[in-house]
Structure 1
Amino acid sequence: MKWISLALFVGLLSSSIAQEIDIMVSGNIFNAETDSVYLAQRSGDGISNIEGTKIKKSGDFKIETKVANPDFYILRIGSSKIDLILREGSAIKVYGDGSNIEKFCNIVGSDESASMNEFTREKNAWVAYVDSVNAVIAADPTQQNALRGQFQQKQQGYQALVRAFVQNNQNSAALYTIQSIIDPNLDFEGYESITKQLMAGFSESPTVQEEYSKMEKLKADKLAKDPLAPGKMAPDFTEAMADGQMLSLSDLRGNVVLLDFWASWCGPCRRENPNVVALYEKYKDKGFTVMSVSLDKDKAKWLAAIEKDNLTWPNHVSDLQFWQSKAAKLYGVTGIPFTVLIDQEGKIIRTKLRGPQLEEELSRILGDS
């Protein structure tokens, strides 16, 4: 199913799953600060209890009930709580310390719930560490340099933990705990990827459906504001070639054009050039060309790099203004290499394509035969 049709799918799905499901949550809790345990769910800005039961003197408890939908739920013991992922027929056992069940618990019968809570513990530990460092620096700003090395080391460890969790829980409902810490304004691609994986793995969840709808709206708003969004006309510009003649992007209309921002001093650009050369040779007779915009300051070095890297297409331009390049500013370039693939009508296909992704897109558009 294509993602573009998923909104309709979700609408149909919502009407088909509005039915209760049977679940059971049981286990043993010690050191509980209360004699009751509750199954609850987040509601708006709060948490609403669904079903409760008494904890026996032995610590055993059992909640066997129906809930409205497969979704994310909460098990509450006093002020302590853990998250549970409940599906049709879920039978989950929870064993733990009721005084701090977030930190000390074992979940059996739901690998997703166990994984989510294990990561949540690590996440909470990281947040507590960051808060402690900020408190120390606030009290004594001179400690900032002394703490920097340790902080960076712990930060790298936490980031590695996040990457491993995402890799090991692809399309799992447990990714919900990751989605909650991603700021879509800072990392929309990561936010979109996690939300799509949640939909793939837990589409029957109303919470996931709501999050997916939010993501789609954010994406639509983002694309509407993005001058380089796919389907929009590529901004036209005119710059000088090496011989002084002027070349406009629109002069290449009728071709599939790779607009490539690069420079002789850019290592990643030079390493990518052999791939661009190979693709140019493969597709140039099918209407593909390259327009290279250099951010060089030294004309001799620019031309030497063109020759050394065997960039045989004729469309090389530069105003030799480094990062003040007018074309680079027009396209919002903040790092190179930066590419824009443009269709025969001058409309943007995609940006930031390199290596295999670029080859795959050209193959899709122009074919391999």
Structure 2
Amino acid sequence: MNRLGFVLLMWLGCISCIRENVGESIQYVQPGDRLPDFTVELSDGTILSRHSLVGKVSVLVFFHTECPDCQRELPVVQKLYEYYREDARVEIVCISREEAADEVAMYWRQHELTLPYSAQPDRNVYALFSEEGIPLVYISDADGIVRYLFTDDPIASYTDLYEAVSVLVEQDLPLPL
């Protein structure tokens, strides 16, 4: 019975990342689109919304802790968060796709992640951005316009994310007098 349970658990982990390419059913918010209206509560009780991101470069990461690609992407995002942690011009947040808060909190503790997250027990927020596929990394400018989208094909490297964010941060610098 233990072997069957293990196989079932592994199978569920694998399918949590798979995209089901059925015709044109996958609709991502694309670069050039405005971030959709959303509101989430972060693990520290802070409320985050599209409106609270105005004026900041934002990195929104959709994930599930059992997804192997997400497991590889989250440490990369953690490194980016550590770099920009004190920079008020940048907001980096992870949003789970259909995963309980206690599961996400346990994963964060086990992997020593410190970046902000919002555990979502359903797909309501995720569905505003996409129908299928994780991880998804949306990087938006200070006006809330998505400028970069990274998916699981391939997952984003630290260099990819750093360069995207730094370009947008530089664009939002005030002009010298």
Same fold judged by TM-score > 0.5?
Answer: yes
Q: Which residue of the partner structure matches residue 361 of structure 1?
A: 164
Q: 1:239 aligns with which of 20, 34, 40?
A: 40
1:282 aligns with 2:83: yes
Is there any run of 5+ residues in structure 1 with no aligned partner, and where?
A: 1-185, 187-225
| Change beyond 3 A, Cα 1:297–1:366 | closer
Secondary structure of the 1:319 match is: coil
One-letter amino acid of the structure 1 residue matched with residue 51 of structure 2: S
| Change beyond 3 A, Cα 1:365–1:242 | closer
Q: 2:109 aligns with which of 307, 313, 320?
A: 307
Residues 143-178 of structure 1: CA deviation (Å, up to 9, x unaligned): xxxxxxxxxxxxxxxxxxxxxxxxxxxxxxxxxxxx
- Mapping of 1:1-369 within 5 angstroms? 228-242=29-43, 246-286=47-87, 287-314=89-116, 316-321=117-122, 325-352=123-150, 354-355=156-157, 356-366=159-169
* Contact 1:341/1:350 (<8 A) preserved: yes
Higher RCO, Cα 8 Å, sep 6+? 2
* Contact 1:240/1:247 (<8 A) preserved: yes
| Change beyond 3 A, Cα 1:288–1:244 | closer
Secondary structure of the 1:285 match is: coil
Q: 2:56 & 2:45 partners in 1: Cα distance?
A: 23
TM-score, normalising length: structure 1: 0.34
Per the TM alignment, residue 296 of structure 1 is displaced from its structure 2 partner at its CA by: 4.2
Per the TM alignment, residue 227 of structure 1 is displaced from its structure 2 partner at its CA by: 6.8
Q: Which has the higher helix share?
A: 1
Secondary structure of the 2:139 match is: strand
Q: 1:333 & 1:284 partners in 2: Cα distance?
A: 30
One-letter amino acid of the structure 1 residue matched with residue 110 of structure 2: K
Aligned residues: 140
TM-score, normalising length: structure 2: 0.67
| Change beyond 3 A, Cα 1:290–1:309 | farther
Q: 1:253 & 1:309 partners in 2: Cα distance?
A: 31
Residues 326-366 of structure 1: CA deviation (Å, up to 9, x unaligned): 11111114111011111111111111161132222223333
Q: 1:300 & 1:361 partners in 2: Cα distance?
A: 32
* Contact 1:343/1:349 (<8 A) preserved: yes
Q: 1:258 & 1:245 partners in 2: Cα distance?
A: 16
Q: 2:131 & 2:164 partners in 1: Cα distance?
A: 22
One-letter amino acid of the structure 2 residue matched with residue 269 of structure 1: C
One-letter amino acid of the structure 2 residue matched with residue 309 of structure 1: H
| Change beyond 3 A, Cα 1:319–1:275 | closer
> Which protein shows a greater Rg?
1
Q: 2:165 & 2:111 partners in 1: Cα distance?
A: 21
Per the TM alignment, residue 237 of structure 1 is displaced from its structure 2 partner at its CA by: 0.4
Per the TM alignment, residue 305 of structure 1 is displaced from its structure 2 partner at its CA by: 1.5
Q: Which residue of the partner structure matches residue 15 of structure 2?
A: none
